[in-house]
Amino acid sequence: MSAAAEIQLIAIAVAIACALPGVFLVLRQMAMMSDAISHTVLLGIVIAFLLIGSLDSPLLILGAASMGVFTVALVELLNRTQLVKQDAAIGLVFPALFSLAVILISRYARGVHLDVDAVLLGELAFAPFDRVTVLGIDVARGLATMGVILAVNIILITLFYKELKLATFDVGLAAALGFSPALIHYGLMAVVSVTVVGAFDAVGSILVVALVVTPAATAYLLTDKLKRMLVLAMTIGALSAISGYWLARVLDANIAGSIATMTGVIFGLVFLFAPDRGMLSLALRRLRQKWEFAQTALVIHLSNHEGKPSWEHERRVEHLSEHVHWEHDFAENVVQRAQQNGLISRRGNELSLTDAGRLRAQEALVA
């Protein structure tokens, strides 16, 4: 397999592996926890490295992942003291642990292949040089690691799909049905931690956040169904990975940075042009609704005063700008539209409701 193909495969595996737990983080409104975890796992790696003395041991992943879970627990512990709010607790915990890691590396682990820039930025371009043999096949280590993590994520999320779904949308019900929300919560956090550690090598810590949060959030703009959101998030992640790789290649820039940029570009496109929730369709819908809404307001206004002493006064067009606070031109425009739609009739400056108009007013008030 060519180096380019291998790099892309790793990037895709990372993107998909991140998108899966990312969907649940986004839905549970804990996206920033991935930011915290992606920083603190470094401390886990460093401590495990200092204890074991090797960077190749699988124990490293274990150490790092437990640091991720520890971070979550620490944030919750702080939050529970009620001395600081949740957001401040996150903001206190992860910079401290990350700083500790950076200092430990610069003091005790220098010269080892564990430099801070790589942790932060990732160096996907060099991934094909680091090789292992798995089942007699020679592959890049990153590909093997991420392949395993991806497989585990898929299996876990398939197995516990029902529980995760329930715990995400209805914590109370989940607890009542006997699923421990805390167990599911920490399980998810463990998955996030392991994924983050694996993704570290490839894309670096901060860009993990881009792959965890952005595709999932993008998918959230496109669908209401959890299954579809998972599939969309994975697809968007993979698309970002491939396009990001080629962008980096064209610019001769950092691959991870380019992938993150592409997640942003795709998000931006969806944010603007998504069929239902995009800004464009929203603006169009609002424009259309504005006139509909104004016509309804007009017929309700008229029906409120019909048959009352104020009627002769309130039915006049010029009153609309005065009392309803509409600009004159706007009021004229609304009257014209309502007339065209057969909601009102007009003689001179006096308006009357038609039967259709009365019906519309009634329907609006009942709804």
Binders of other proteins among residues 139 to 198 (CB under 8 A) are none
Cα–Cα distance between 356 and 317 in angstroms, integer? Answer: 19
Contact flag: residue 99 with other proteins (CB under 8 A): yes
- Report which of 345, 241, 318, 304 is spatially closest to residue 10, judged by C-alpha positions: 241
Contact flag: residue 338 with other proteins (CB under 8 A): no
Question: To the nearest whole angstrom, how small is the minimum distance from the Cβ of residue 196 to other proteins?
Answer: 13
Cα–Cα distance between 346 and 324 in angstroms, integer? Answer: 18
Question: To the nearest whole angstrom, how small is the minimum distance from the Cβ of residue 355 to other proteins?
Answer: 19
Question: To the nearest whole angstrom, how small is the minimum distance from the Cβ of residue 340 to other proteins?
Answer: 20
Question: To the nearest whole angstrom, how small is the minimum distance from the Cβ of residue 184 to other proteins?
Answer: 18
Strand bridging mode 344-347 / 137-140: unpaired
Contact flag: residue 199 with other proteins (CB under 8 A): no
- Report which of 357, 362, 342, 359 is spatially closest to residue 298, judged by C-alpha positions: 357
- Report which of 58, 42, 60 is spatially closest to residue 118, judged by C-alpha positions: 42
Question: To the nearest whole angstrom, how small is the minimum distance from the Cβ of residue 248 to other proteins?
Answer: 7
Q: In this complex, which beta carbon is closest to other proteins, that of residue 49 or of residue 179?
A: 49
Q: In this complex, which beta carbon is closest to other proteins, that of residue 164 or of residue 212?
A: 212
Question: To the nearest whole angstrom, how small is the minimum distance from the Cβ of residue 215 to other proteins?
Answer: 10
Contact flag: residue 323 with other proteins (CB under 8 A): yes
Contact flag: residue 92 with other proteins (CB under 8 A): yes
Q: In this complex, which beta carbon is closest to other proteins, that of residue 141 or of residue 277?
A: 277
What x-and-dash track marks residues 37-76 binding other proteins by CB under 8 A? --x-------------------------------------
Q: In this complex, which beta carbon is closest to other proteins, that of residue 119 or of residue 139?
A: 119
DSSP string, 55-88: SS-THHHHHHHHHHHHHHHHHHHHHHTTSS-HHH
Q: In this complex, which beta carbon is closest to other proteins, that of residue 144 or of residue 334?
A: 334
Q: Which of 24, 49, 70, 98 binds other proteins (CB under 8 A)?
A: 98
60 touches 49 (CB < 8 A): yes
H-run or E-run covering 52:
helix 31-52
Task: Give the count of beta carbons closer than 10 Å to the beta carbon of residue 91.
Answer: 16
- Report which of 2, 15, 1 is spatially closest to residue 258, judged by C-alpha positions: 15
What's the Cα-to-Cα distance from 69 to each of 82, 191, 218, 261, 345, rounded to whole Å? 21, 9, 26, 28, 69
Q: Which of 55, 59, 85, 349 binds other proteins (CB under 8 A)?
A: 85
292-311 residues near other proteins, rule: CB under 8 A? 293-294, 296-297, 300-301, 304
Exposed (0-12), middle (13-18) or buried (19+): which is 181, by Cβ within 10 Å?
Answer: middle
- Report which of 123, 120, 159, 156 is spatially closest to residue 142, judged by C-alpha positions: 123
Q: Which two tokens stand for residue 273?
A: 């042009």
Binding span for other proteins by CB under 8 A among 56-64, 136-144, 157-165, 210-218: 210-218
Question: To the nearest whole angstrom, how small is the minimum distance from the Cβ of residue 122 to other proteins?
Answer: 9
Q: In this complex, which beta carbon is closest to other proteins, that of residue 109 or of residue 148?
A: 109
Q: Which of 62, 76, 79, 116 binds other proteins (CB under 8 A)?
A: 116
